Amino acid sequence: MMTNTTSTTSTGHPVPGAHSQREIESQPESWQGAIDAINASWANLQALFAENRDRPVVFVGCGSPYYLELSAAAAYRALTNKWAIATPASEVLFNLDTALPGKSAPLVIAVSRSGETSELLLACKQLKERRGSPILVITVSRGTSLEKLADVTVSIPNAGEQSMAQTRSFSAMLLSTLGAVAAAAHSQQLFDELRRAPDLAQSYLNNIRQPIADLMARGFNRIFFLGSGLRYGLANEGSLKMKEMSLTNAEPFHFMEFRHGPQSMVDEHTLVVGLVSRHAAEAETTVLREMVGLGGTVVAIGPDLSGMQDTASLKIQIDAGLSETAELVFYMPPLHLLAYNQAMGKGLDCDSPRNLHAWIRLPDLESKVSGSGT
């Protein structure tokens, strides 16, 4: 349950989860930072996309940013009618010929919290030096190694974190990346919609905080995240957050694919989280109702939940009045709160999950790749 806590106990030790709580709650501020960063970079972004209008676009990242980019690449394709993919940086680094077609020199959009992850640095360096790719970097950090490779950098203030898992940094980078997509699509309308998100964020957080805490007090052994189209990357991120923060078995699926086998795992100990779209709400809520019939507990998040009626244990209505692309960021706070409350219910410190680091540096790999001339 989200409560007002101090950052340390009476013995001076950090309160478990205090950083994560603060970072989840401060998303209105980080979202505003994301909008300010795009606004300051708007002219540079438009020039970059205009100069490289004939290049394919590749979104490259590691971990959470890669999942962000799955959704961003889908938005880019939908809004520009141009080719774009998202790929893990390691695939560019080790499997370039299968990751990218032919000898193309794509425009690279690299998203990173730290700007210091080895695979991403090496992948961007390889594309820049071997194929002449220009690079757009979106980050919450400044003065990083990745920024030195960039042609344009969008650096978001007030969105960094002390906790290991990415929460406000993810949603801020998602918002800025969608802003960059708006620049690529020459869509002032989309950017104007994105500008509205920070002002709507606080009341949204206030409305969802307690219902999520109450639900997650029940405890779940297995959690599935369903999302399709623009929301599939976010379903992946929801699953990752649940694993990282609460050490709970979690998997993402497209809505309809969940019927093809995975639904056999649903029972009374299962939570199914549906990221419901506007345009396919009828079909997607049908799947969620079926999961209730199998004994599962359902959380439905989206702008049109009329198909759930009284079926879902929790309905989180997105009433932002925005387009489906601009609404994407509103799916993130519920996913963060679900993972946070699951972790706290298990007595875990989600600020410092086991086996995790804020970023991955691989000096031996960097030395080897640099020495090979790539």
Residues 103-147: tens digit of each pLDDT = 889 999 999 999 999 999 999 999 999 899 999 999 999 999 999
| pLDDT 10s digits, 277-310 | 999 999 999 999 999 999 999 999 999 999 888 7
Per-residue pLDDT at 358:
54
Give the closest residue to 60 by CA, choosing from 105, 10, 13, 124.
124
Secondary structure of 24-37 in HEC code, one letter for each residue: HHCHHHHHHHHHHH
Measured N-to-C along each axis, helices 332-345 and 188-216 cross at an angle, to the nearest 10 degrees, of: 20
Please report the pLDDT score of residue 10 as a whole number: 46
Angle among Cα 193, 111, 46 to the nearest 5 degrees reads 50
Tokens standing for 174? 């998602």
Sign of the four-CA dihedral 345, 348, 353, 354: negative
- Among residues 235, 212, 242, 201, which one has the least CA distance to residue 312? 212
Average confidence (pLDDT) over 311-319: 92
Predicted confidence (pLDDT) at residue 4 exceeds the cutoff of 50: no
Q: How much of the chain is in helix, strand and coil states, percent to nearest 5?
A: 50, 15, 35
Q: What percent of the chain has pLDDT over 90?
A: 82
User: What DSSP assignment string belongs to 204-270?
Assistant: HHHHHHHHHHHHHTT--SEEEEEE-GGGHHHHHHHHHHHHHHH--EEEEE-TGGGGTTGGGG-STTE
Q: What is the pLDDT of residue 96?
A: 87
For 251-281, b/e burial (b = at least 16 CB within 10 A) is bbbbbeebeeeebebbeeebbbbbbbbeebb
> CA 351, 65, 49 angle in degrees (round to 5)?
145
- How would you label 138-168 residue by residue, b for 16+ Cβ within 10 Å and e otherwise? bbbbeebbbbebbbbbbbbeebbbebbbbbb
45-77 confidence digits (pLDDT tens): 999 999 999 999 999 999 999 999 999 999 999
> Residues 355-373: pLDDT tens digits?
655 545 556 655 555 544 4
pLDDT at 330 over 50: yes
Token code pair at residue 34: 């994301």
pLDDT tier at 240, thresholds 50, 70, 90: very high
Q: How far apart are CA 304 and CA 229, in angstroms?
A: 16
Distance CA 130, CA 230 (A): 31
Residues 259-265: contacts with CB under 8 Å, at least 24 apart: 259/287, 259/290, 262/224, 263/290, 263/291, 263/294, 265/222, 265/224
CB within 8 A of 163, min separation 6: which ones?
Answer: 19, 20, 23, 350, 351, 352
**What's the whole-number mean pLDDT along residues 34-47?**
98
Any residues with CB less than 8 A from the CB of 22 and at least 6 apart, and which?
7
> Is residue 256 predicted with pLDDT exceeding 90?
yes
**pLDDT value for 103:** 80
Q: For position 162, what pLDDT does the model report? A: 87
Supply the pLDDT for residue 360: 53
Using CA atoms, how far apart are residues 140 and 161, in angstroms rounded to an integer? 9
Cα separation values, 327 from 37, 165, 308, 319, Å: 19, 22, 20, 9
Q: Over the stretch 136-183, which tens digit does the pLDDT of each residue have?
A: 999 999 999 999 999 999 999 999 998 889 999 999 999 999 999 999
The model's pTM: 0.92
Mean per-residue pLDDT, 73-85:
97
Indicate the helix (H) or strand (E) that contains 190: helix 188-216
Each residue's pLDDT tens digit, 200-237: 999 999 999 999 999 999 999 999 999 999 999 999 99
Mean pLDDT of the chain: 91
- Domains of the chain in start order, with CATH, are 18-196+355-371 (3.40.50.10490), 200-345 (3.40.50.10490)
Q: Cα–Cα distance between 131 and 104 in angstroms, integer?
A: 7
In whole angstroms, give the CA distance from residue 47 to residue 53.
10
Confidence at residue 369, expressed as pLDDT on a 0 to 100 scale: 53
Q: Binning pLDDT at 50, 70 and 90, where does residue 7 land?
A: low
State yes or no: pLDDT of 1 exceeds 50: no
